[in-house]
Amino acid sequence: MPFIPHTEQDIKAMLASIGAKNIDALFDEIPAALKSGKLTAVGDGLNEMQVSRLMRERAAQDSQPLNFIGAGAYEHHIPAAVWEIATRGEYYTAYTPYQAEASQGTLQTLYEYQTMIASLTGMDASNASLYDGASGLAEAILMAVRAHKTSRHVLLPATVSPLYRSVARSIVRLQNIELVEIPFDIATGTIDFKALEQYAGADIAAMVIPQPNFFGALEDVDALTDWAHAQNMLAIALVNPLTLALLKAPGNWGSPLPNPLPLAGEGANESLRESNIRGADIAVGDGQPLGAPLSSGGPYFGFMCCKQALVRQMPGRIIGRTVDLDGKQGFTLTLQAREQHIRRAKATSNICSNQGLMVTAATIHMALLGADGLRRAAAASHGNTQSLAALACGVPGVKRLFSAPHFHEVVLRLPKSSAAVLAGMAEQGVSGGIDLQPYYPQLGNAILVCATETKTEEDLQRYVAALRHVLQG
Amino acid sequence: MSNPANLKYTASHEWIRSEADGTISIGITQHAQELLGDMVFVENPAVGRKLKAKEECAVVESVKAAADVYAPVAGEVTAVNSELDSAPEKINADPYAAWMFKMKPASAADVAALMDAAAYQAVVDSEAH
């Protein structure tokens, strides 16, 4: 169906019918001081030729350097079939359609996505996605505070991405929620357990547990989950979905409950066998590593899963499987009483939406790679990063900063200004990592480096040559 | 189904029954369950929670809507009907038997001052067009 804007006559007729003088009159209850007026920073429109030229010029700035930056957005191989299928007309829409049940194919795709991501995270339920990982973290914090009921404090470790922390703070600060920063151990690069002790017994709603953390380091998620639960906090897992192909699923974090449920009989699957583990209560993250190209920062998508007990506190759309009057399988939006069209101001969220198209691509990506393909991509990324770190540390003055095991990112300390070294590497066509100086000045000249499965041995050698050239040149 | 004469009522469609032990039981009325339709979920307040009169303290969720339930008077929650966790449809089947939670009212006079069945019926009638 084409989009047909209203004509001047349409608008006049509608205004006349409701007795409004002009369109501005419809917004007169908004105080004038809050209106932004003219957007002077936004230029006039460009014609198609000008836009094409501008976009070509911008595109030329992308993808040129050999990229070793991760920090939340990862360059992975995406099979060509993923976007060939995702951009078919039947799929090509950004959101859950209105009159959703008329689009059974779209709902089934979202249902399959929920099943895949819930299985990857080891959780009971998934929503149909959120905007991105950072807003997903903010929603998880809001959800934990709603579920906990008594406390509005949440522990947010400094090993969580500084950008995620900034987004979460922006969203929750006006809701009277306090985010308490937990420092990290400068030797290991992971959450400092000693710093946690002062919060033992305090009334705190939840703790965020990143895995891997922003430095690529692996947190002791079992001990952290157990500790959070012992303090009556919810455990919010912030995870990279690709790494879950190898790492323990958040749903299985922590120790078994003291009184295990009776084990299921023969034929019990893995998730049943671990049903006596409470695990993380909420799992969120950015789905970008599952089929979304870097695209200068987006669109990506956020995923969010939770345990059954919290499902009515989850924001966003949830697709359910049911049967129609004839007993045939059908898909439907479910648990909608959480949502704003029913619950209005008391909805679980009035700021979220889903990223249907990105999720469609992720579903196809996961289906094409399969569990084994995801494992291989994750393992190759880990292996390449280990190799790169070892090679880089062969350059005089360069060393790995943290002792904890790392997944596919490492922090390197440089003997010279990190900003200058990265600029020098960029001149040689290598994006050498991100400078941690603005975010963690206490680390000195430190950079965060990532080598995914897309990098070859030759690429790693090129990185090291560029680094050597800058440091010794 | 008429509204039992031995109960008290609120304009927000809760019914209140005074129990022998001095507590009151609270549920939602026949009119309320009819408007909401098939119940799928009940969220009750925590036992021990102190409530102000007219404070939102529970939620009933049906297949088509969710509605808040308000404390009819000030007091403390003394019990919740956990049967409704797994069988919320009991509210549809017999709303005046399916109590949601009990309170110890701060003042018995507050309870006595609530609407009787006739006054509540007038509220319902006035809402119907």
CATH of domain B20-108: 2.40.50.100
Q: Residue A282: count other Cβ atoms within 10 Å of its Cβ.
A: 29
In the structure, what pLDDT confidence band is assigned to residue A266 with cuts at 50, 70 and 90? very low
Which helix or strand (DSSP H or E) is residue A190 part of? strand A190-191
Helix or strand or coil: residue A314? coil
If one compares A235 and A345, the residue with the highest pLDDT of the two is A235
Q: Is residue A348 domain-shared with residue A449, that is, in the same domain?
A: no
N-to-C CA span, chain A: 61
- What sign for the dihedral angle of Cα A119, A125, A130, A136? negative
Inter-residue contact A231 to A151 (CB < 8 Å): no
Is A346–B41 a contact, with Cβ atoms under 8 angstroms apart?
no
Residue A273 binned pLDDT confidence (cut-offs 50, 70, 90): very low
DSSP A6-46: PPHHHHHHHHHHHT-SSGGGGGTTS-GGG-----TTS----
Residue B65 touches partner A, C-beta closer than 8 Å: yes
Residue at which a domain ends, from A313, A333, A363:
A363
Residue range A79-92: average pLDDT? Answer: 93
pLDDT (average), residues A324-334: 94
- Asked if A312 has any chain B CB less than 8 Å from its own CB, the reply is yes
Return the structure tokens found at A402. 């943290």
Cis peptide preceding A258, ω within 30 of 0: no
Do A417 and A350 share a domain, yes or no? no
Q: Would you say residue A44 lies in a domain?
A: no
The yes-or-no verdict on residue A260 having pLDDT over 70 is no
Q: What is the pLDDT of residue A274?
A: 58
Q: How many other C-beta atoms can be found within 10 angstroms of the C-beta atom of residue A55? A: 10
Distances (CA, A) of A466 to A157, A174, A401: 34, 46, 20
Q: Does residue A232 lie in a domain region?
A: yes
Picking from A363, A389, A423, the residue at the C-terminal end of a domain is A363
pLDDT at A272: 41
- For position A259, what pLDDT does the model report? 60
Residue A328, chain B, CB below 8 Å: the answer is: no
Burial class (CB in 10 A: 0-12, 13-18, 19+), A84: exposed
Residue A275 confidence (pLDDT): 65
Q: Do A228 and A308 fall within a single domain? A: yes
Residue A268 in this model has a pLDDT that exceeds 60: no
What CATH number corresponds to the domain at position A393? Answer: 3.90.1150.10
Say yes or no: A346 and A386 in one domain. no
> In 3D, which of A414, A419, A301, A314 has the Cα closest to residue A362?
A301
- What is the percent of chain A where pLDDT is above 90? 79
| CB pairs A-B closer than 8 Å | 16
Q: Which two tokens stand for residue A161?
A: 């991405």
**Looking at the complex, does the CB of residue B44 fall below 8 Å from at least one CB of chain A?**
no
Taking a C-beta distance cutoff of 8 angstroms, is the pair A400, A457 a contact? no
Same domain, A339 and A396: no
In a domain, A330, yes or no: yes
A46 touches chain B (CB under 8 A): no
CATH code of A117's domain: 3.40.640.10
Query: Residues A275-284: what's their mean pLDDT?
Result: 92
Does any domain span residue A69? no
Q: Does B41 touch chain A (CB under 8 A)?
A: yes
Of A331, A363, A395, the residue that ends a domain is A363
How large is the average pLDDT for residues A222-240? 97
- One domain for residues A398 and A356: no
A-chain residues within 8 Å CB-CB of B50?
A: none
A310 and A449 share a domain?
A: no
Q: Are strands A184-185 and B8-9 parallel, antiparallel or unpaired?
A: unpaired
A390 with A354, same domain: the answer is no
Give the rounded percent of residues in chain A with a pLDDT score beyond 70.
Answer: 95
**Does any domain span residue A52?**
no
Of A266-275, A357-366, B9-18, B86-95, give the lowest mean pLDDT range: A266-275
State whether A342 and B62 contact (CB < 8 Å).
no
Q: Are residues A314 and A423 in the same domain?
A: no
Written as one letter, the residue type at A471 is L
Whether B46 contacts chain A with CB within 8 A: yes
Question: What is the residue range of A467's domain?
Answer: 371-472
Structure tokens at B128: 């119907």
Is the same domain home to A435 and A378?
yes
Task: Look at residue A265 and tell me if it is in a domain.
Answer: no
Task: State whether residue B47 sits within 8 Å of chain A by CB.
Answer: no
CB-based contact A312 B41, cutoff 8 Å = yes
Strand-strand pairing, A430-431 and A66-67: parallel
Beta strand extents in B1-129 (DSSP E only): 8-9, 14-18, 24-28, 39-43, 50-51, 56-62, 66-70, 75-80, 101-105
Residue pair B90/B123 in contact (Cβ under 8 Å)? The answer is no
pLDDT of residue A254: 96
Within-domain flag for A73: no
Inside any domain, residue A142: yes
* Mean pLDDT of all residues in A13-41: 89
Domain boundaries, chain B: 20-108
In chain A, the number of structural domains is 2
- Answer whether residue A374 shows pLDDT above 50: yes
User: pLDDT by residue (tens digit) across A445-467?
Assistant: 999 999 999 999 999 999 999 99
Would the pLDDT of A1 be above 80? no
Partner-chain contact A337 B46, CB within 8 Å: no
Q: What is the pLDDT of residues A390-407, one digit of tens each?
A: 999 999 999 999 999 999
The string of DSSP letters for A193-229 reads HHHHGGGTTS---EEEEEES-TTSBPP-HHHHHHHHH
Residues of chain B under the 50 pLDDT cut: none
Q: Which residue of A lies nearest to B42 if distances are taken between CA atoms?
A: A312
Look at A301 and A473; give whichever has higher pLDDT: A301
Cβ atoms of residues A106 and A91 within 8 Å: yes
CA pseudo-torsion sign A112, A115, A121, A127: positive
The answer to whether the CB atoms of A149 and B46 lie below 8 A apart is yes
The reply to whether residue B43 touches residue A337, judged by beta carbons under 8 angstroms, is: no
Residue A93 has pLDDT above 90, yes or no: no
pLDDT reported for residue A41: 84
Same domain, A152 and A201: yes
Q: Determine the pLDDT at residue B15.
A: 98
Note the pTM of the prediction, 2 decimals.
Answer: 0.89
Query: What is the least distance, in Å, from the CA of B66 to any CA of chain A?
Result: 6
Tell me the pLDDT tens digit for each residue of B16-39: 999 999 999 999 999 999 999 999
- Residue among B49, B60, B61 with most chain A CBs within 10 A, to mutate: B61
Per-residue confidence band for A343, with pLDDT thresholds at 50, 70 and 90: confident
CB spacing of B65 vs A337 below 8 angstroms: yes
Q: Which residues of chain B lie closer than 8 angstroms to A337, CB-CB?
A: 40-41, 61-62, 65-66
pLDDT band at A340 (very low <50, low <70, confident <90, very high): confident
Distance in angstroms (rounded) separating the CA atoms of residues A131 and A285: 10
Q: Does A413 lie in the same domain as A293?
A: no
Q: Characterize A348-365 residue by residue with b for buried, 16 or more Cβ atoms within 10 angstroms of its Cβ, and e for exposed.
A: bbeebbbbbbbbbbbbbb
